[in-house]
Amino acid sequence: MLLLATQGSKRVRLLQAARAHLRLPPAQVLEWRDWLRQPALLEDSLRQPGLLKVEPSGDDPAAHRLLLQAGCRLLDRPPVDAPAHGELLAMDAWFAGFSNAMQGLARQLAAMPQIRVFNAPAEICLMTDKLACQHHLAAHGIAIPTLLGPVHSYDHLQSLLHEHDLDRVYLKPRYGSSASGVVAYRRNKAGRQQATTSAALQQGDGAARLFNVKRMARYETQHDIAALVDALAAQQLYAEAWLNKPRCGDSHYDLRVVTMAGRPAHRVARIGAQMMTNLHLDNRRGDAAGLLNAADMTALEAASAQAARAFPHSHVTGYDLVVRHGQAHVLEANAFGDLLPGLLWQGADTYAAQLTHV
């Protein structure tokens, strides 16, 4: 088994531990940075029949920088400086480099029929393009929040809200992950507005910079909100209608479900008092079975299985859902949604379970 990954990352450590628990030899690791510089290393590592699992490149700043530089060249843009720690910079250029890399990987794998992949590169790419992914899910009959489409600027956002008669929306970077740059936007008839986000805004020298932080920030002046939205829109942004989440005490929650071979397996509630419930933002886990009634659990399993069928060449995927009153909406699909340390399903964590399946 070969991992295209970052040696020493949490994902690699957890998968290697699962292999040791199952008495399997350690997987080989091909570093993203090395493969990007020397693609032939993949063929050298996969001369025998085996498995390939692609892990995200974001654990390695050098790999991120290589993808960003490649994207700038592909988009015929001047190169950008390496982003500072946590900086949201040229996400659209990064995706152009990432998409090109996935296309190259697919070409390499086409010449190696003896290799099986956990998730096909084309489907990894589709799930990384959040707007395209939501359109893909909707085309397969899967309920999603209402999409307003791309947002080109703060002024364009205001016209979209007027057009759709809405005062609350979520704004999402098209190529973001882990809630980075996501904005919960609200306004009222008196003209007050509020934007809550994990993106910290820094303004100076005529330019706005954004940094992904764990502590949520709240902006309430038009000047700040316009700067925030314009900076995100420059990297490609879209809007979707606000979907209320079910309550749990003084908090609310959504759910993450991991599917394997098209079937729902691990599931966990993500509970928090903030607008974003991602677990890395200091929200807490909850027992899905203890929060959902029978109708909601049926809806959860049916929607996640239906979503998995929309990605037939992906063995393990994660889905974020809102389930209320026996109806489920898919908020997002995630090709790398199996990082849930310690969460068990039928006695196995996400890594041991996927290894057993294959």
Instruction: Name the strand (E) or helix (H) holding 322.
Output: strand 316-324
pLDDT at 141: 98
Helical pair 121-128 and 91-110, crossing angle rounded to 10 deg: 170
Residue 296 pLDDT > 80: yes
Within 10 angstroms of residue 151's Cβ, the number of other Cβ atoms is 25
- By the 8 A CB rule, do 263 and 305 touch? yes
Residue 355 pLDDT > 90: yes
pLDDT at 215: 83
Task: Name the CA dihedral angle for 344, 347, 351, 352, rounded to a multiple of 10 degrees.
Answer: 170
How distant is the alpha carbon of residue 2 from its chain centre?
23
Instruction: State mean pLDDT over 158-167.
Output: 97
Q: Give the separation between CA 8 and CA 29, rounded to whole angstroms.
A: 10
Residue 225 pLDDT > 80: yes
pLDDT at 260: 97
Residue 205 pLDDT > 80: no
pLDDT digits (tens, 9 = 90+) for 97-152: 999 999 999 999 999 999 999 999 999 999 999 999 999 999 999 999 999 999 99
pLDDT at 3: 98
pLDDT digits (tens, 9 = 90+) for 235-290: 999 999 999 999 998 999 999 999 999 999 999 999 998 878 888 778 899 999 99
pLDDT at 109: 97
pLDDT digits (tens, 9 = 90+) for 20-50: 999 999 999 999 999 999 999 999 999 999 9
Maximum average pLDDT range among 4-8, 82-86, 175-179:
4-8
Q: Give the separation between CA 50 and CA 353, rounded to whole angstroms.
A: 18
Task: Name the CA dihedral angle for 224, 229, 235, 236, rounded to a multiple of 10 degrees.
Answer: 180
Which of 120, 125, 184 lies closest to 331, judged by CA?
184
Bridge-based pairing of strands 251-260 and 263-272 is: antiparallel
What are φ and ψ of residue 347, in 5° steps? 85, 0
DSSP of 246-311: PEETTEEEEEEEEEETTEEEEEEEEEESSS---GGGT-EEE-HHHH--HHHHHHHHHHHHHHHHT-
What are φ and ψ of residue 195, in 5° steps? -125, 120
Which of 178, 335, 347, 348 lies closest to 259, judged by CA?
335
Within 10 angstroms of residue 153's Cβ, the number of other Cβ atoms is 15
pLDDT digits (tens, 9 = 90+) for 53-73: 999 998 899 999 999 999 999
- Give the global pTM: 0.96
Q: Give the separation between CA 211 and CA 224, rounded to whole angstroms.
A: 14
DSSP of 184-230: EEEE-TTS-EEEEEEEEEEEETTEEEEEEEEEEEEE-SHHHHHHHHH
